[in-house]
A = this chain, B = another copy of it.
Amino acid sequence: MPANFADRLIAATRLRKTPLVVGLDPRSERLPIKLRAEDPENLELLAQSFQKFSCEIIDIVAPLVPAVKPQAAFFEMLGPAGMTALASVVNHARSQGLLVIMDAKRGDIGSTAAAYAKAFLGHNSPWGCDALTINPYLGADTLDPFVDSAKKQGAGLFVLAKTSNPGSSMIQDLIVDGETVYVKVATLVQTLSLQTKGEGDYGCVGAVVGATYPEQLAELRSKMPNAILLIPGLGAQGGTAADVAAGFDDEGLGAVINSSRAIIFAYENPMYERLASNWQRAVEQATRDTIAQIAAETNAGRLSG
């Protein structure tokens, strides 16, 4: 039986001394000029350029961070060719020693949920991922097939609790019996985390909590002491390193922080203008700078202490 995902993620985080996860969100109009497809209407060519870009990012960040988070939507947007590219990107990331958190936000009922779990979870699955983001709207029974599969495969899950977008309040912030919906989801996640605990304090079922809601992050950290939080929204979405501080435990563990656009498109940032001619160096520098910011502003700094 493969090791628990929480243990694997924590080991990788300790090894790289940072909880930073780099999001792989390729967009055709923002790729470095050299990598742009000659014909942006040609999905095969676009898929090739997405794959090349993502794999180059992986080569740059593999020595620096524990994991990458491919966003399925950007590959799905290219049809079957995009999905073939996505599989290659996942394989390449794993071959470089990175954990792969597939951001696909899947969710369905019964045997359909089981099919998604079988698709994504574990190194022996068709997509071969280490973890998957999932959506709880359909109810607790629809998470069970994912949890069963994750336990068997040594894989992880991140259940959407409080998402980073401005309108996430519509359902997530509704208050029932004095408790928000996102706290109800967190209570369920905490139960599942405890049931799936590895050798350390954390279980293989975690939660997604946006960096753009620091107060809710603190509340959710306390409601889910055994859940690893996946915190997106740093950088382009407006979250800062200080905003994510509440996500960590005393040892600087218990959370991973995702940044996508601010790192992978760093060459467009005036801050890295001196590196603009070498987009790979801009990506590397942005990764190092983000790691340093997180270390300076949060308990994650203790990982390198």
A122 on the interface (CB 8 Å rule)? no
Q: Are B79 and A107 in contact (CB under 8 A)?
A: no
Taking the full assembly, how many copies of this chain does it contain? 2
Q: Are A82 and B172 in contact (CB under 8 A)?
A: no
Contacts of A141 in B (CB 8 A): 165-167, 170
Stretch at the interface among A150-158, A174-182, A246-254, A278-286: A174-182
A223 on the interface (CB 8 Å rule)? no
> How many Å from the CB of A191 to the closest CB on chain B?
13
How many residues on A have C-beta within 8 angstroms of the other chain's C-beta atoms? Answer: 58
Q: Are A139 and B172 in contact (CB under 8 A)?
A: yes
Give the contacting residue for A137; candidates B79, B109, B172; CB below 8 A: B172
> How many Å from the CB of A99 to the closest CB on chain B?
19
Q: Are B167 and A74 in contact (CB under 8 A)?
A: no
Q: Are A174 and B172 in contact (CB under 8 A)?
A: no
Residues of A within 8 A of B (CB): 25, 27, 43, 71, 73-74, 76-80, 82-84, 86-87, 105-113, 115-116, 118-120, 126-127, 135-142, 160, 163-172, 174-176, 181, 184-185, 188
Instruction: Given A137-B135, A138-B168, A139-B169, verify A115-B76 contact (CB < 8 Å).
Output: yes
Give the contacting residue for A126; candidates B82, B139, B166; CB below 8 A: B82
Instruction: Given A80-B83, A135-B135, verify A140-B119 contact (CB < 8 Å).
Output: no
> How many Å from the CB of A237 to the closest CB on chain B?
8
Q: Are A165 and B142 in contact (CB under 8 A)?
A: yes
Q: Which of A136, A137, A141 has the most CB of B within 10 A?
A: A137
Q: Are A170 and B84 in contact (CB under 8 A)?
A: no
Give the docked Cα–Cα distance between A110 and B27 (Å).
14
Give the contacting residue for A109; candidates B108, B109, B118, B164; CB below 8 A: B164
> How many Å from the CB of A129 to the closest CB on chain B?
11
> How many Å from the CB of A138 to the closest CB on chain B?
5
